[in-house]
Structure formats: C-alpha cells, structure tokens
C-alpha cells in the first residue's frame, strides 16, 4: 500500500489553486482555415488535478499536478478529446510546464514563466523547438501536423477558472493551415 504524501500548497506556486476536480459545460471548439468554413462544436469537460512532488532532478526541485481531462460534445456520451499528463512548477526559476499526451498520440511539452502568486498562466510549444516542443507519429504528421500550441488560463477566483487554447495544424493534403481554438469556463467540484 502506498502512502500519499501531503504537499504544502505553497510549494505548488500558481498551481496550488488548481488542486481538485473541475467541470465546465460552456466549451467551444472552433476550427477554420483559409479554404474551409468555420466549424464549431460545443462541449462539456472534466479535469482532475492531483498534487505530486517534490520531484528532484539534481539540484532542481519541482512540484506539480498529475492530471486527466475528458471532453464530450454537448449531448453525447463518447468523449472526443482526452488528455493525460503533468503540470510542473519550478520555484527556483519560475518556470511552469505542461506535458501531456492526447488520445491521438500527440505529445505536447509546453512552458512559460510566471510568479508564485500568478492568477494568469501562459504556456507555448512549437514543433520546431528543442525546448518546448510537439511530437507525434509520422502518420499524424502526414495528415495534420501540429505546428504550434498556445495555452492561457485565468483564475477568476478560488472556485472558477477559464482558459483558451490555440493550435495551428498543417493539412497534409493541401498545405492549408488550420487554426483550432478551444475555450471553456471551469467550476471546482471539490
């Protein structure tokens, strides 16, 4: 039997506000390109964050959250998007990292900088970057290669946050760039 370690919330920096389970039912998933009409899907979503750490790597000490997310088109029972990963906080250099894999096998390692008490978090990744990058299989890259990823989160209060997420994907069939945007407002369940 494993003993779950209690982590001082202050060690989680800006991530301390996210611990728990969240739900949002006003999600908007939009995508468009120069050659396609905009398509919108409304969705509901659940996300659970569990504290982890300290994670030691040499002299560096990280704290973070293990998380899962699932999203369903409104009125449907089968999720159209799922994620599994970590949000990590490095108090020494004020770096925030989100690393995750979605159900299609795309792995994103996004990062940014913020203060311990930030209520706004911004992270980015780019397929060409050696630091905060994007990786996927050759077959996914042939169809729709993800070029970039940007994520912004705003803590509205201790029970609500909102986020926006934008990805750019290259359509392998015609080299068209698709802009895919998601946004939702989340409420803490517990």
Percent of the chain topping pLDDT 90: 81
Query: Is residue 1 assigned to a domain?
Result: no
Q: How many domains does the chain have?
A: 1
* Residue-wise pLDDT tens digits, 128-187: 999 999 999 888 888 889 999 999 999 999 999 999 999 999 988 788 899 999 999 999
User: In this structure, what DSSP letter does residue 141 have?
Assistant: H
pLDDT, tens digit, 9 for 90 and up, residues 78-116: 999 999 999 999 999 999 999 999 999 999 999 999 999
Q: Is residue 4 part of a domain?
A: no
What per-residue confidence (pLDDT) applies to 5? 61
Determine the Cα–Cα distance for residues 42 and 34; give it in Å rounded to an integer: 22
Judge whether 46 lies within some domain: yes
Q: Is residue 109 part of a domain?
A: yes
Q: Which domain holds residue 168?
A: 18-188
pTM given for the model: 0.91
How remote is the C-alpha of 92 from its chain's centroid? Answer: 22
Domain assignment present for 81: yes
Is the model's pLDDT at 4 over the cut of 60? no
């Amino acid at each position: 039997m494993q003993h779950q370690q209690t982590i001082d919330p202050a060690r989680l920096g800006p991530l301390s506000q996210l611990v728990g389970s969240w739900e949002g039912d006003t999600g908007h998933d939009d995508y468009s390109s120069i050659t396609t009409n905009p398509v919108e899907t409304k969705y509901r979503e659940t996300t659970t964050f569990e504290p982890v750490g300290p994670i030691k790597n040499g002299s560096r000490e990280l704290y973070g959250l293990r998380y899962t997310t699932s999203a369903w088109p409104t009125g449907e029972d089968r999720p159209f998007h799922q994620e599994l990963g970590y949000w990590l906080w490095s108090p020494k250099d004020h770096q925030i990292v989100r690393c995750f894999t979605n159900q299609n096998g795309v792995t994103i390692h996004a990062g940014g900088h913020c203060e311990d008490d930030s209520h706004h978090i911004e992270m980015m990744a780019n397929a060409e970057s050696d630091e905060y990058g994007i990786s996927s299989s050759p077959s996914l890259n042939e169809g729709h290669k993800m070029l970039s990823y940007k994520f912004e989160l705003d803590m509205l209060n201790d029970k609500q946050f909102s986020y926006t997420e934008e990805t750019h994907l290259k359509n392998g069939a015609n080299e068209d760039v698709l802009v895919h945007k998601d946004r939702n407002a989340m409420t803490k369940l517990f």
